[in-house]
Amino acid sequence: MTRKTVPKGVSPQSNFGEKEPLRTNGDPHAEAPEEKVELRKKVTLLQGISIIIGTIIGAGIFISPKGILKNSGSVGMSLVIWVACGILSLFGALCYAELGTCIKKSGGHYTYILEAFGPQMAFVRLWVDMIAIRPAGLAVIALAFGRYILEPIFMPCGVPIIAVKLATAIGITTVMYINSMSVTWTTRLQVFLTFSKLLAIAIIIFPGLYQLFKGETKNFENAFEFNTVDLTGLPLAFYSGMYAYAGWFYLNFVTEEVENPERTVPLAICISMVIVTICYTLTNVAYYTVMSAEELLASDAVAVTFAEKLMGNFSFAVPIFVALSCFGSMNGCLFAISRMFYVASREGQLPEVFSMIHIRRHTPLPAVIVLYPVTLLILFLGDIYSLLNFMSFMRWLFIGVAVVGLIYLRYTRPEMPRPFKVPLFIPAVFSLTCFFMVFLSLYSDPVNTGIGFAISLTGIPAYYIFIHFHRKPNWFQKFSDIVNRSLQIILEVVPVGH
């Protein structure tokens, strides 16, 4: 892993223009016009909104919103926590809107930590993402997709686990293929899937509100009975809520591909968070209109139970909507995360090939497919949920660090242009919230959290071995060069600007 030089006249910040794609008629040896191979600014405001909403709204709101109800102790308090978590997530999103407009590079958390605190801490974040968090997270979303896409076929029987895993593998492969072939089709698909999710939520909200206006309010009686509220459970309820809103940061991973980022990034983030908060709150109101708290807690898939009680035979469509929702989360997540690997390679912290672009498709093909083998390996061989438990607290730790970086940069680099600027109390409140959730993880699950912390610490020696020590054995350099050249030929990719 050696730091590469950017071609003369091309800077990392200026690699992204808008030109017609190369015309080689499918022949890699055909003579191409004299123009750069580069990523294009193809993410519009609508597509930016769809990336955020499409990755936030996964299977959770359809399957199991009972974690908040269980730990909050009452219907009213659970709704308060849904709204409060939406507002706090908006705080975090506003912080990232400022970071995304003053640091106009893709890469999200990784880039902001790199700019504020240097390469070592950024590499540890990258290391944890590559070896555990991202492949395990992708596998979990894909497993939900595989299970729910097959459920209508096997009803009323259970779906065999091998069938779920095969459908999951097909889903992961399809998402990887689409992201590898076209940025345009990836973003268009994300828009379609986002509207599908919002349609599914509307199918729940409107019948539920109709029942509410008809007078079905018995489940809201004594909604704020404080004698049922367990104060020790409120932090856990809050923790669950923040996870349900996670995903508001994904547009920042593709900043360099966003049209007019100074305007689009803050606007997309604010619009998305308002829509998601309203949808989540009203969906839960609809659930409570049709189901009692006891029925909701007893359900394994709340949306399915809701549909069975209110819509009869139409309930078979709910698993399809859940599967589409999961597919949208996979698509948006992979689209965003691949850009982090692309930027990390550009910064010299991953092999050079990961910052190369396909000569005709203009997609960062190596960065897209790097997670594919590890994800499939974890899917068929690994204990995915344990791995997620080990690593879940690391997400909030590094998000908190990135937001602290915003405060730090305000004082160390006051000259930076900041087209969008938030009051300092917003990053202060949000970073404290992140560190509180990390502390809560240490308190509630010290064993798994400790294991995750130990795995994360392996990133420190990895940094010194692969990055810090520039003098590597000749055989290592030759092997690295051969692998890079071979992958470049096989994948038909070239450095940006060629």
CA distance 45 to 269: 10
Tens digits of residue pLDDT in 39-82: 667 788 998 999 999 889 887 787 768 888 888 878 888 898 89
What pLDDT score was predicted for residue 498? 58
**CATH number of the domain bearing residue 98:** 1.20.1740.10
Q: What is the pLDDT of residue 391?
A: 66
Interval 452-482: pLDDT, tens = 788 888 889 988 888 877 666 777 778 778 8
Band of residue 126 on the pLDDT scale cut at 50, 70, 90 = very high
Q: Which domain does 282 fall in, by range?
A: 37-495
What is the C-alpha radius of gyration for the chain, rounded to an integer number of angstroms? 23
pLDDT of residue 390: 65
Predicted confidence band at 427 (pLDDT cuts at 50, 70, 90)?
very high
Asked if residue 409 belongs to a domain, the reply is: yes
Residue 58, C-beta contacts closer than 8 angstroms, at least 6 positions apart = 141, 144, 247, 325, 326, 329
pLDDT at 436: 87
73 or 120: which carries more pLDDT confidence? 120
Q: How many folded domains does the chain comprise? A: 1
Residue 25: inside a domain, yes or no?
no
- CA dist 136 and 146 (Å) reads 15
Sorting pLDDT into bands at 50, 70 and 90, what band is 11?
very low
Amino acid 297: pLDDT: 85
Kindly state whether residue 2 falls inside one of the protein's structural domains.
no
**Separation in Å, CA 210 to CA 214, 305, 310, 317:** 6, 18, 11, 20
Q: How far apart are CA 183 and CA 43, in angstroms?
A: 9
Kindly write down the DSSP assignment for every residue of 114-160, as one continuous string: HHHH-HHHHHHHHHHIIIIIHHHHHHHHHHHHHHHHHHHHHTTSPPP
Distance CA 369, CA 354 (A): 10
Output 25-33 pairs: Cβ under 8 A, ≥24 positions apart. Answer: 26/360, 28/359, 28/360, 28/492, 32/359
Decide if 28 is inside a domain: no
Within a domain: 20: no
Can you tell me the distance from the alpha carbon of 279 to that of 202, in angstroms, rounded to the nearest whole number? Answer: 8
**Per the domain annotation, does 231 fall within a domain?**
yes
Q: Write out the H or E segment, with its range, that includes residue 164.
A: helix 161-181
3-state secondary structure of 22: coil
Q: Determine, yes or no, domain membership for 370.
A: yes
Is 17 strand, coil or helix?
strand
- Domain presence at residue 66: yes
